[in-house]
Structure formats: structure tokens, C-alpha cells
Amino acid sequence: MGTRPFRWFPHEGRRHAIPDDLVARDDGATLCGVEIVVPRDRGSKTAWCWPTCTACEAAWRDREGLPKRLVFHR
């Protein structure tokens, strides 16, 4: 387990934040509310490069006391 309460987890094309204490085969939910079952396998290397779920990132930043992410539009 890490030192933070959440970790990143690839699921359905996005990297979501999940509670750090979830282990393989546990039922749980991402910070954006998606129900998941943690698989035994870690996932592919490309899955860890998927875009971050913006709802999970916002919830994670709020819970960690971090400033909101700045988004620049072109």
C-alpha cells in the first residue's frame, strides 16, 4: 500500500482513482462513482497511458487539498 489514500487504476479507457487499500478481487468504486472489481492482473502498459478521468482527478485534488487543475483552451 502507498502513503496516499488513493491510487490510479485503468478502467474502460480512462485512468481512475480508487482507494489504495483495494486489492485483487475486491469490489469498490472509483472516486467518480464507477463500480469496479479489482482484477488480479495489473493491466497492459498502454492502459497506464490512458487519459485521466477528469471527475476522478477533480475529486482526488479536492480530497488531497490540492488546487484545481488549470485547463487552457486554444
What is the residue extent of each domain of the chain?
6-64
pLDDT above 70 covers a percentage of the chain that reads 91
Q: Which residues does 64 contact at the CB level (< 8 Å), separation at least 6?
A: 4, 6
Task: Convert the pLDDT of each residue in 60-73 to its tens digit.
Answer: 999 989 888 766 66
Task: Convert the pLDDT of each residue in 7-24 to its tens digit.
Answer: 999 999 999 999 999 999
